[in-house]
Structure 1
Amino acid sequence: MTSRTARPARTGQFHTRPLTTALLLALALPAAAETAADAAGQPQSDTTTFDPVEVTGERVERASSPKFTAPLLDTPQTLSVVPSDVFNAQGAQNLTDVLRNTPGISFNAGENGFSTNTNNFSLRGFDTSGSIFIDGVRDSGNYARDVFNVDRVEVAKGPAADNGRGGLAGYVNMVSKTPQLGYFARGTASFGADGTDADSRLRATVDLNNQLGEHSALRLNLMATNGGVPGREHASNDAVGIAPSLAFGLGTDTRFILAAEHVSQSGRPDWGVPGAFIPGTINHNADAERASTDNFYGLASDFDENTSSSVSARFEHDFSPALTLSNFTRWSQTSRDAVYTVPTNYVPATQLVTTQAQAFRRDNDGIANLTNLTARFRTGGWAHTLSTGLDLSREESESDRFPTPNQPSTSVFAPDFRRATLRRIAPTQSSRVRIDSVAAYAYDTIEFGERWQLTGGLRAERYEVSIDSRTIAGAPQGPDGYEVSDTTVSGKLGLVYKPAENGSLYASVNMAALPPGNFLSNPDISRDGNNAFPGLVGQNNEAAKTQRAVSHELGVKWDFFDDKLSTSAALFNTTRRSVAITGREPGVASSPEVLRGYGQQVVRGLELSATGSITEAWTVFAGAVFLDSERKLDAYLDAARCTAAPTDYRANATVADCAAIIAAGEGVAGDELAFTPRRSASLWTTYAFGNGLTVGGGLQYVGNSWAGRPDDADRLIPNGRWGKLPGYTVGNLMASYAFSDRFSLRLNIDNVTDETYATSGNWAMSRVFLGPPRNYLLSADFRFW
C-alpha cells in the first residue's frame, strides 16, 4: 500500500438536479425548522394523543424468518446480523457498504466476464450475488440496493436451503422497516467531501412513524442523494426513494402490513483504473503509479439509470400463543439501463489507457407468495418449535444484448472524458429468462432434557428455468429453447448442548443445491453471443448435474455481560460437489470443447465474532475469518482445460506444452479459489461518555488473494498466472455530539491514513476498482418529536 497522490480539491463543484435538490430541501428543512424552534424556546405542539416512544437499537435475539426455529444463541449455524444502528453510524448508504462489516465477503467488481461492480460479491469463496433476499423473498437483478428503508441485514453463512436454490456458501437477507405503535420522527442530513477532484455529496433521509389508532400505524421513509463518488472525478450518483407502510392489528392476534418502496437512481458510473496503478499487482508500472488516483477514464456521456419498485402484503394470525399462521406476498420490478466506458489496459510505451464501451439494459420482475405455520407443542417429554410452509415464486428477466466496441485511448495522466460521445449502443440480440419454483419445507427444534436441543429440517423444491434467445431480427440464437428442471431436497441438522443458559455448543451439517440456468442476477446477460450465458458448455449446461454443497460446522456461542454481548466461534468445512469441468481431449487441439467431467471446490476455516455491549457505554461489532480454499479435479480434467486454453495456464503456451505443465504440478488442481482472501476481519466500536459525546472507530482488513476466474466460471486459471490482488487495512473514525435529545452532529472520517488500495480487479488484473480515499462525512441527526 502506498500513500495516495492527490491534487487540491476544486471549489464550487456541487452540481444538482432540480428534482433531487428539491427533495433534499424538503427532507431537511422541516427538521431544521423544528430544531430552530426548540433552540428559540418556542412552545411545541401538544396535540398528540399517544405518548412519544424512544426508538433505540437492541440486540437481535432471533432471525426475522420463521424458518429459524431457535433463538440465534441456540441456532447451530453462523448468522451475522448487522443492525441499522451500526451501519447508520458508519454513514453506510447501500448494501455493499453494510457488507463490509462482515468478514469473509469479497467483491467481484472486476471483469470476470462482463464488467461488474460492487453489487456482485462472494461469500466464503462462492458467488452469492444471486442469493440476496428482501424480507425472505429473493431479490434478483444487478443493481445497487439502498438501505434507507432497511432495519437490519442478516448474513447466513454456510450452505442454506432456507429460501431455495443457491446459497452454496450462504445468503443475505435485508429486513425492511415496519410500522410500530407510538410516534417518532427522525432524519439525517449529511454532507460528504474528500481531498480529490471528486464532487461533494449530499444525502438526506427521514423516518416518520405515526400511530393511527389503538392498533394501527403508518410509517414513511424518504431518501434523496446527490453528488459525486468519493475519490472519483466526474463520477456522480443521484437517487430518490420513498417507502410507505401501513399496519393494522399491531399488538393483537391478527396483524396485516401493507408496504411499498420505489427507488430511482441515476448518475455517471466509474469503472476503475488500470491495474498498473497498484504496487504488488502483476501489471504494476512505476510511471502509471504517478497518475492521480481520482482520474476518470470513462466518458462524459456515460450513464447508469436504475429504478426498483416493490409492493408487499403480510398477514399474520395467532390461533393461540402456540400456533401462528402467516402469509407474505411480494411483487418487485427492477430496471437498469446503462452505457459506460471501461479501462481495459495500460500501454507503457505510449502511457495511454485503452478503453471499451459496454451497455446494459435489463428488466427483472418477480412475484412470490410464502405461507408458514409455526407451532409450539410437546410430545411426551420433548418440546417442539415446528415451522412448516409452502413457497411459490415466478421470476422473469428480459434483456437487450450489445456488442462491446473499443473507444479512443486516453492519457493515463490527463484523461479527456470528452474525447468521444456514446449515449447509446444499438442492441444486436435479446433474451428472456423465466424461473418458476414451488417448495415445501418443515423445520423443527426439539428440546429434550434441560440441556439438549436438536434443530433440523428439509426443503423440497421444484425448479424450472427456460431461456429464449433471439437476434434483433427475431431469429433463434445460441441457447434459444433452453429448458432445465429439477427437484432438489436440501436441509440442515444440528445438535446443540447448553452447558449454561447463556451459552451453547453445537455440531451441524447443512446442504444446499444449485441447478443450472440461474441467470437472473448475472451481469453477463447484456453481452452478445453465448457470452451472455456463461457456462453453457459447463456449469450451466442443460445436461450438467445439479451442484450440491455440504457443510460441517462445529461451534460455540456465548453471551456475556447479562446477555448484552454475543460471541461465537465456528470451525467449518464446505464441499461444493458436481462442479462441471469443460475442455478438449488432452493434447488434441482439434477436439471439441465439451463437458469432460466434474470436480469439487472446498472451503474450510474458522470464524470468530463479538457483537453487542461490553458496558452501557461501550459497544462493539467485530468479526474475523480464516479461510483455506481448494479446487479439486483430476489430472485428465486439468489437461483438458489446458488444451482448451493453453495461455490461461502459462504465457505463450501451446497445446504441446500442456502435458509438461500438468506433470510439473503447475495446473489448477489444489489451487485456492480466485479472489478468496485467506484472512479478513472487521471491527466497529463506539463509546458514549454520557455528556452527549460519543466516539468510535473501526478497521477493515482484507488479506491478499489470487487473481483469476471466479468459482462459477468454466475457464480455470492457475494461481500465480496473473499474480495477486494485494490486501489492505483501512481505519475509520467517528465522533458525534448530542446538543439535545432532538439534535446531534456526527463526523465520520473514513480511510484516515489515506491508503491507496484496490478492493477488487478483473481476472487478469488489467483493471482494478480503488477503495475510497480519506473522506469526510458530516451528518446532522434530527428527532422531530
Structure 2
Amino acid sequence: MSLEWKKPTFLALSCVGFLSAAQAADPADAPAEAAPDQEHVITVNGHLDDNPNPKMVAPLLDTPRTITVIPENLIRETGSASLVDALRTVPGITFGAAEGGNPIGDRPFIRGYDSQGSTYLDGVRDIGAQTREVFAVDQIQVVQGSDSTLGGRGSAGGTINIISKLPKLGDFATLDGSYGNADYKRVVVDVNKQISPTAAVRIEGMWHDQDVAGRDAIWQKRWGIAPSVTIGLGTPTRLTAAYYHLHTSELPDSGLPYTYVCSATICNAPAGNFVLSEPVHNVSTLGGQNVTVPYSTFYGLKDRDFRTSNTDQATLRAEHDFGSNVMIRNTSRFSHTYQGYIYTQPDDSQGNVVGTTATNTGTNFTNGGYVWRRANTRTGVTNSLINQTDVTAKFETGILKHSIAAGMEFSSEDARRGTYVLATGSTISPRCSVSSVARSNCAPLGNPNPNDPWVNYTSDTSTTATAITRSTTWSDTINTGITKAGYLFDSIGIGQYLIANLGVRYDDFTSTTRLPLTSATAAPVYLKRHDGNWNYQAGLVGKPAGNISVYGSIATSTTPPNSLLGEGLEGNSLGTAVSPLLDQLKPEKSKSYEVGAKADVLHEKLSLTLAVFRVDTTNARVTIDANTVAFIGKKRVDGATLGFNGRITDAWTVFGGYTYLDAKVRDGGQSALTAAAIGSRAAQTVYVTSVNTGKQFPQTAKHSFSAWSDYTIGKFTLGGGAFYTSRVFGGYSDNRKAVQDSAGNVTIIPATTVLARSIPSYWRFDARASYVVTPRITVSINANDLTDKRYFSQAYAAHYATVAPGRTVFGTVSLKY
C-alpha cells in the first residue's frame, strides 16, 4: 500500500479514537437516545431544519416553488456515497457526461438545463468542477425552475444547495464501516463534542476505496476530512469556523462508443428520418464481423489514463440575533479546487465502429471493428473568495405580516486551465490502422486491453519516445469573474388565507478571459465583458387550510457570457480570439411559470406536492451565417411534477415522485455546409436550419420516476427503491450536403439519414435491510442495482455513453454513541 493511502487510513483510525473519547464523556451529559420509531424519519417537504438557508423566507409548504429536501438519513439509507448518488432520488434530474471543453465533474441537468455551475454550499456558489462527496452533508436542497433571484447568474433550470454538518450542543458520535463486492470499502466518522456550555467542535472523516462493479479495470479512491468549531451556541451571537478537504484518485471511466456516425462527409447509419445510434453492444460491421461488446468493456489505458483532484474550502460565519425576529449572518469562504486528468473517450467520429468501406484500404482499418482511443486532457485550478451578508427579519405593517431576507454578495473567482501534451493519433486519418493499433491508439471493438503498453511519442509519426508533460503555463486559458450583488425577498401574509412571495436581485458581473499566449514573451490578450442583470420572482399562495397551499408563480434567470468561467458548457465562453462578436454577446434569458398545490396530510407527517410548469428561454446562443453566433435561439420546457415525502404510518416512510418534461429546441439556429470547389469556382459555405430545431433537449428524460420506502418491524427495517428514466438523447446529426455547379449555383441535397445518439430507458431497483443489535449498534446491507440491470447513466453529445456500475452489495456496521 502506498504512503498516500496510509495517511487517510491513519486519519480514520484517529477519528475512531476521538469517537471513543466522546463515548467516555459523562453519560449524564449525553442526549437522550432516539426512540426506535424515530430512527428512519424522513423530513417532510414542508419544513427546513433550523433554517440553514436564510434566503428561504417561508416554510416550504408556503413557498410557491418546487423544492425538494434530501435529508441525511435518506442519503445514508440509500447507500449514497456521492452527490450524484443522492440526486438520483429526485425525479427531473439527469446527468451529462464530460465533453471536449467540459471538465469531468458533477453535471446535473434540472428540467433540461445544465446546472453544473448552479451548485451552492451553504447558500454560497461553489463553481469549481468536481465530483462531490456526501460524508459531511446534512441535507441537499433542490430548487427547480428559473432561480437567478435566489442563486444568482445562471440557474435556468434550478439550483442545488448543499448544507454542511456543523457543530451542535451535546455529545454524539457515529462510525459507519462498509465492505462489499468489487472490493468496496468505506469508513465514515462523525463526532460532535461539546467543549463548554456554549461551544462545540465537530469532525467528519471519510475513507473510500473500491473497484467498480461490472466494469473492467476501473477503480476509485478518495479520502476527506471536515472539522468545524462553533462558539456561542444557544446565545444571540455565534461564530463558526469550518474547513473541508477532499482528495480523489481514480482510473476514469470512458464508457462505450455509439454505433453509427452521420455527417455530410461520413454516414454509415441506415437511411431513415430518425435513426437511433445507441452505445454499441451487438453490431455487424461493414467488413462482415458480428461483434458483441460486453457492458464491462473498458477502452482506456492503465499506462496513460488517470484523474486526481483536491478540494479545499475554509469558511468563517458570524451570526447575531437582535431579539427573536431579526438575525444578521456574514459568511466568508475561500475555495480552492484542482483536478488533472487524461481521459479516454472511445471515439466513433471517423466511423471506426461499423466502418466506412466493405474492405480495408491498404493498412487502414476502414471496414469497422475498431475504436480510436481519443484522449481528453485537462489540468485546472479554480479559486474563489466570497463574502455574503444576509439579514432576516419578521415584522408587521398593519394587517400584513412580513418575513424578509436581504443581502449582499461580493465574490472574486478565477479559473486556470491547461492540458497535457501527448500524441494520440489525432493527426492521422483515418484514425485506425496497423500502426495506430501497434501504438495502442486504436483498440479492437470487442476485446480492448487496458494493459496495452502505451508509449508517448513526440508526434504521431515519430519513433522518439517522450514523457507526457503539462502544457506551458503561458499557454493556459485564465478566466476571472467579479460579482457584486444585492437581493431582497419578502413573504407577506395577507390575512389568514393569502401569502405573497416576492423577490428581486441585481447582479453586477465582470468577467475576463486571458487567451493562451503564443510564446512566453508574447503580449497577453484579454477579452472582457460586463453585465448588469435584474432578476425577480413573484408568487401568490392561497391557504384554504393550514396544511394546504395552492400557488402560482413566475421567476426569471439570466446566464451572462462566461458566467461559468470555463468550468461548464463550452458555448458559454467569451470566445477564443479577439472578434467583433464580443460586443454582440448577450445573456441568455429564461422565465419559469408554475402553478401547483402542496399539502401536509396524515397529521402533517406526509407531504404531497403537485405542479405544472413552463420554462421559456430566449437569446439562446446559436450559430448563424459567416460561422458566427447570434442570440436568436429559443427553447421551451412544458412539464409536470408530483412528489411524496414523509410517513404514511409510524412504521412506513416514503420519498419520491414523478416528473414529465416536454423539452423542445424551438430555434436551434443554423449549421454550415461547404460546397466543394468546382473548376475555377472556389468552395462556398452555405447555412441551413440546424438539425437540433424541433428536437428534444439533449441530456433530458421525458419521463422520470423515483421512490424509496422503508418499513420497520420491531428492530428490523426493510427498505427499497425503484428508479425509472426514459430515453435520453445525447445529440443529433444528419448527412445533408451542399454542391455547386460551374456557374456557382449551390444546391442542398436533402438528408437521407437523421441520426439521434441516445441511451435507452431503464428501470433500476435497490434494496436495504437493517437490524438494531443494541441501541448503539446497527447492521445493514444495501444492494444497489439489485437485478444487475446494465444501463447507461450519461449520454455524451457525440462519441460515447457512460455505463452505470453493475450490482453493488455492501454491508455496514454502524456504531453510535
Return 5+ residue gaps in structure 1 as ranges: 1-15, 38-43, 194-198, 585-591, 648-653, 711-716
Give the corresponding residue for 2:659.
625
CA contact (8 A) 1:303 1:339 kept: yes
Structure-2 change in CA distance of 1:746 and 1:126 (3 Å): same
Separation in 2 of the partners of 1:719 and 1:517? 35
Q: How far does residue 121 in structure 1 lie from its aligned partner after superposition?
A: 2.2
Give the corresponding residue for 2:394.
376
Q: How far does residue 522 in structure 1 lie from its aligned partner after superposition?
A: 2.7
Q: Helix, strand or coil for the counterpart of 2:192?
A: strand
Name which of 337, 360, 383 aligns with 2:340. Answer: 337
CA contact (8 A) 2:704 2:724 kept: yes
- The residue type equivalent to 1:432 in the other structure is I
Separation in 1 of the partners of 2:732 and 2:556? 25
CA contact (8 A) 1:708 1:719 kept: no
Q: Does the alignment pair 1:643 with 2:661?
A: no
Q: Helix, strand or coil for the counterpart of 2:54?
A: coil
Give the corresponding residue for 1:550.
591
Q: How far does residue 698 in structure 1 lie from its aligned partner after superposition?
A: 0.5
Written as runs of structure 1 = structure 2, the 5 A alignment for 1:95-494 is: 95-109=83-97, 111=99, 113-114=100-101, 117=104, 119-161=106-148, 162-193=150-181, 199-276=182-259, 281-282=277-278, 284=280, 286-287=282-283, 290-301=292-303, 302-345=305-348, 346-348=352-354, 349=367, 351-402=369-420, 405-406=424-425, 408-419=441-452, 420-421=454-455, 424-427=468-471, 429-471=475-517, 473-474=519-520, 480-494=525-539
Q: Does the alignment pair 1:569 with 2:571?
A: no
Q: Does the alignment pair 1:705 with 2:751?
A: no
Separation in 1 of the partners of 2:60 and 2:578? 41
Which one has a bigger Cα radius of gyration? Answer: 2
Moved more, 159-168 or 283-292: 283-292
- TM-score by length of structure 2 reads 0.82
Q: How far does residue 53 in structure 1 lie from its aligned partner after superposition?
A: 4.5
Structure-2 change in CA distance of 1:521 and 1:531 (3 Å): closer
Separation in 1 of the partners of 2:8 and 2:539? 50
Separation in 2 of the partners of 1:632 and 1:353? 35
Q: How far does residue 458 in structure 1 lie from its aligned partner after superposition?
A: 0.6
Q: Helix, strand or coil for the counterpart of 1:182?
A: coil
CA contact (8 A) 1:538 1:580 kept: no
CA contact (8 A) 2:655 2:708 kept: yes
Structure-2 change in CA distance of 1:475 and 1:567 (3 Å): farther
Structure-2 change in CA distance of 1:521 and 1:567 (3 Å): farther
Separation in 2 of the partners of 1:424 and 1:689? 59
Separation in 1 of the partners of 2:752 and 2:16? 57
CA contact (8 A) 2:147 2:557 kept: yes
Give the corresponding residue for 2:702.
678
Name which of 549, 552, 557 aligns with 1:512. Answer: 557
Q: How far does residue 446 in structure 1 lie from its aligned partner after superposition?
A: 0.7
Moved more, 396-405 or 83-92: 396-405
CA contact (8 A) 1:642 1:655 kept: no
CA contact (8 A) 1:516 1:541 kept: no
Moved more, 541-550 or 135-144: 541-550
Structure-2 change in CA distance of 1:597 and 1:219 (3 Å): closer
Q: How far does residue 169 in structure 1 lie from its aligned partner after superposition?
A: 0.9
Q: Does the alignment pair 1:51 with 2:30?
A: yes
Q: Does the alignment pair 1:613 with 2:647?
A: yes
- The residue type equivalent to 1:291 in the other structure is V
For these two proteins, the number of residue pairs brought into alignment is: 720
Separation in 2 of the partners of 1:536 and 1:568? 48
Give the corresponding residue for 2:717.
694
Q: Helix, strand or coil for the counterpart of 1:27?
A: helix
CA contact (8 A) 2:504 2:534 kept: yes
Separation in 2 of the partners of 1:358 and 1:371? 40
TM-superposition CA deviations, 1:346-381 (whole Å, max 9, x none)? 534453221112211111101111111111111111
- The residue type equivalent to 1:183 in the other structure is D
CA contact (8 A) 2:623 2:671 kept: no
- The residue type equivalent to 1:292 in the other structure is P
- The residue type equivalent to 1:607 in the other structure is T
Give the corresponding residue for 1:4.
none
Give the corresponding residue for 1:758.
792
CA contact (8 A) 2:705 2:724 kept: yes
Written as runs of structure 1 = structure 2, the 5 A alignment for 1:11-50 is: 16-21=1-6, 23-24=8-9, 27=12, 45=24, 47=26, 50=29
Q: How far does residue 673 in structure 1 lie from its aligned partner after superposition?
A: 1.3
CA contact (8 A) 2:561 2:574 kept: no
Separation in 1 of the partners of 2:580 and 2:719? 45
Moved more, 72-81 or 611-620: 611-620
Separation in 1 of the partners of 2:93 and 2:506? 28
Name which of 81, 89, 102 aligns with 2:77. Answer: 89
CA contact (8 A) 2:716 2:769 kept: yes
Structure-2 change in CA distance of 1:559 and 1:218 (3 Å): same
Structure-2 change in CA distance of 1:687 and 1:720 (3 Å): farther
